[in-house]
Chains A and B, each alone.
Chain A
Amino acid sequence: MSEKVFLRNVVGEYTQVLGNRDSKVVVVNADLSGTCRNKSFSDSFPNRSFNVGIAEQNMISFAAGLAHEGFKPYVFTMAPFLSMRACEQVRTDVAYGNKNVKMIAVYAGVSGGISGATHWSIEDCGIMTSIPNVSVFELSDSKMARKLLDYSLSLNKPVYIRIGVDPVDDVYDDEFVIKEGGSTELIQGKDGYILCSGVVVHQAVLASKILKEEYNLIVGVIDMYSIKPFDAEALLKAVNTKNVVVAQDHNVYGGLGSILAKYIVENGWTCNFRILGINDEFVSMAHAPFLYKKYKLDANGISESFVSLSKKEN
């Protein structure tokens, strides 16, 4: 078993690698370069590093201006500040003009745990996927984090990347391809699939083991790391098994589950379908594992939800 790593550390530090590779890469912070672990970039490239202070709206607009002049800004802050405080700047200054700004959002979902609802965001995924031109990704392990960052350099458009707080193991092998609209089948399924992203992927993998060992069910896990656009082929494969659980660290309204459900219904596909997510409510501060358990996003919650779902007629 690999050692657990903090994905924000991986991403923040890897930005320096991108900076070495491409002189157009610049970083814009809003006083959270420490929290977002990208100080190595400013140490290496002080001229290409900006810190606008606690001013997320300005961070986004400023980055849009830099992108307008051909630079590739990576902006960092916590998901609620990026997706909500600066929402209109993202939409009007970045997305409307299709500017090449990469938005790195830490504390996505309820992963912020004891920091509470002011610092986590269950809304960001729904908000960002609703903005035209913005591609939305979520990171599940350090290998795909690095690979996605490499890939992001080739995307000349707005990109929003969600990152959870808690450290995670690696779930990826060394050989895999990351792309817009892609997904990764981590476990092949027969009786059903768990479609998920981010931190939840790790719980889904554990849930799949429980389902096999305790219920003799072969349940696959697909990392839908590209939430918008999403991988319709992967969805069809899951739907064909007739049992689909979507597990997401964000509100049940908007984001991954809503996008997949829309596609299923519009195509007239049928299957048992359930979205596990934050149940459209505010909840007070608690450690992330407690919150994941509460919303059935831990291994037991996901496996139990799958079992009850699979008993339904369809």
Chain B
Amino acid sequence: MDNKLIKELEYKSLQIRINLITLCNKEVIHIGGDLSICDIMTALWQYKMTYNINDPFDESRDRFVLSKGHASAVTSFNQAAIGCFSTQSVLKEYAKDGGRFSMHSCNLVNPYVEISTGSLGHGFPVACGIAAGLRLKGNKKSRVYTIMGDGEQSEGSIWEAALNAVKYKLGNLIAFVDNNCLEADGTIDEITSLGDIGKKYTSFGWNVVEIDGNNMSEIIDCLDNIPDSNSEIPTIIIAHTIKGKGVSFMENQRRWHAGKISDDQLDEAATELNENFLKRWSNV
């Protein structure tokens, strides 16, 4: 693995995390689930996906559907990082009346939102329809990326779509499950008894990949090796993550599903994130 690339992407992910906690000091955001997918989102938006910031409807773009629609802040900051709009505008407009950014993604005001999401169990089935549409019109290059939560797997519509994607051979679909093991009311085991997600999708006929979703090397290795977009088998990446990843007082804490942090907490979190990055890369 190219260390320089990993360091660069980890640095970019650090910047997104700093933006997230900065926003979290101003507004209530879904910080836990934003942080758990921060590394995957950084890799997708700032490394993997083909995207034209000057034309969000460019036919050649990869499509991204945020099925876990509450992770809107981490999406907006990544889109800001590639120049769709400024990071400052996200910080300024988030949750403001008439603003483009809020608790969930809305394409009435933000054309970079491919599909408006929020209610769980919707984005993934819509992403399947998009993937089928790309196939039908002969777009062989674009892929459809979607990220679901693990709690979201309780929605029946997810499994309807899981069957359908295999039936229609949607190998241009790359789905992630953010397996951070916490949902709003408790742990996944307590609430959902979800069991082995990978095995479930395997039995449905999916190409299943399991990674540490907070390990940039593993993420990049996975993304570099996903099947060709003309593949006939859809891929699901079970990303084992930590809710609140990178900020100790938030990690694996249910109360940080959504919330706001104090000035002191912001300092503490920022210091920890920066120090950990420096520590990790000081000897490399």
Q: Chain A residues in contact with chain B, CB under 8 A? A: 26, 47-48, 50, 52-53, 55, 57-58, 61-71, 88-89, 92-93, 96-97
Contact = CB atoms under 8 A, between A and B. Distances in A.
A92 B130 contact: no
Interface of B: 107, 114-116, 118-119, 121-122, 125-134, 136-137, 156-157, 160-161, 163-164, 167-168
B157 A52 contact: no
Given A61-B161, A62-B129, A92 B119 contact: yes
A66 B129 contact: yes
B107 A97 contact: yes
Interface-central residue, A61, A63, A68, A88, by most chain B CB under 10 Å:
A61
B116 A62 contact: no
A92 B120 CA distance: 11
A61 B119 contact: no
24 contacts: A47-B136, A48-B136, A52-B160, A53-B160, A53-B163, A61-B128, A62-B161, A62-B164, A63-B129, A65-B127, A65-B131, A65-B133, A66-B129, A68-B115, A68-B126, A68-B130, A69-B129, A71-B136, A71-B137, A88-B122, A89-B125, A92-B118, A92-B122, A93-B115
Nearest to B69: A92
B136 A65 contact: no
B131 A57 contact: no
Contacts of B115: 64, 68, 93, 97
A149 B15 CA distance: 52
Contacts of A70: 133, 137
Nearest to A64: B126
A310 B103 CA distance: 54
A64 B163 CA distance: 17
A61 B116 contact: no
Contacts of B129: 61-69
B119 A88 contact: yes
